[in-house]
Chains A and B, each alone.
Chain A
Amino acid sequence: MSDRIDAYLDELADRLPAAGRQTRRTLAEAESHLRDAAEHLSMQGVSADEAQQHAIADFGSAAQIAGAIRRADGWGWALTTELTGLAARLVAVGLVAIGASAVIARALAVFLGTPAIFGLPASAHPAAASCAHWLAVQPGATTCIQAGTLEASDDITLFHGALGVLGVLLGAAILVVSRVRRPASRMLPRALGPAIAATAFLGAGAGLFVLGFSNALIEHAGGRGLWFTESAVSLAAAAIAGVLLLRALVREAPPRLTAA
Chain B
Amino acid sequence: MNTALNRGQLESLLLGILTAGPAHGYEIISALKDRSDGAFDLPEGTVYPVLHRLEREQLLASEWEDSGGRKRRVYRITAAGETNLQQAKEHWRGHVRSVNLILGVQS
* Interface status of B37 (Cβ within 8 A of chain A): no
Whether the Cβ atoms of B49 and A68 lie closer than 8 Å is yes
Whether the Cβ atoms of B26 and A37 lie closer than 8 Å is yes
Contacts of A72 in B (CB 8 A): 49-50, 52-53
Whether the Cβ atoms of A28 and B26 lie closer than 8 Å is no
Whether the Cβ atoms of A73 and B45 lie closer than 8 Å is no
Q: Which residues of B contact A (CB under 8 A)?
A: 24-26, 29, 43-46, 48-50, 52-53, 70-73
Whether the Cβ atoms of B48 and A32 lie closer than 8 Å is no
Whether the Cβ atoms of B49 and A60 lie closer than 8 Å is no
Whether the Cβ atoms of B48 and A26 lie closer than 8 Å is yes
A64, closest chain B residue (CB): B43
Contacts of B49 in A (CB 8 A): 26, 65, 68-69, 71-73
Whether the Cβ atoms of B73 and A59 lie closer than 8 Å is no
Contacts of A32 in B (CB 8 A): 24-26, 70-73
* Interface status of A29 (Cβ within 8 A of chain B): yes
Interface SS majority for chain A? helix
Whether the Cβ atoms of A58 and B43 lie closer than 8 Å is yes
Q: How far is the CA of A61 from the CA of B45 in the complex (A)?
A: 9
* Interface status of A185 (Cβ within 8 A of chain B): no
Contacts of B25 in A (CB 8 A): 29, 32-33
Whether the Cβ atoms of B45 and A36 lie closer than 8 Å is no
Q: How far is the CA of A58 from the CA of B29 in the complex (A)?
A: 11
Q: How far is the CA of A29 from the CA of B43 in the complex (A)?
A: 15
18 A-B pairs whose Cβ atoms sit less than 8 Å apart in the complex: A25-B73, A29-B25, A29-B73, A30-B45, A33-B48, A36-B26, A36-B70, A37-B44, A59-B43, A59-B45, A60-B43, A64-B45, A64-B46, A65-B43, A65-B48, A68-B48, A68-B50, A72-B50
Among A29-45, those with CB < 8 Å from B are: 29-30, 32-33, 35-37
Known: A29-B73, A32-B24. A68 touches B45 (CB 8 A): yes
Q: How far is the CA of A129 from the CA of B4 in the complex (A)?
A: 74
Q: How far is the CB of A58 from chain B (nearest CB, A)?
A: 5
Whether the Cβ atoms of A33 and B29 lie closer than 8 Å is yes
Interface centre among A64, A69, A72 (most CB of B within 10 A): A72
Interface centre among B25, B46, B49, B52 (most CB of A within 10 A): B49
B26 in complex: contacting residue of A33, A61, A73, CB < 8 Å: A33
Interface centre among A29, A35, A71 (most CB of B within 10 A): A29
A57, closest chain B residue (CB): B43
Q: How far is the CA of A242 from the CA of B71 in the complex (A)?
A: 43
Q: How far is the CA of A26 from the CA of B71 in the complex (A)?
A: 13
Q: How far is the CA of A72 from the CA of B26 in the complex (A)?
A: 19
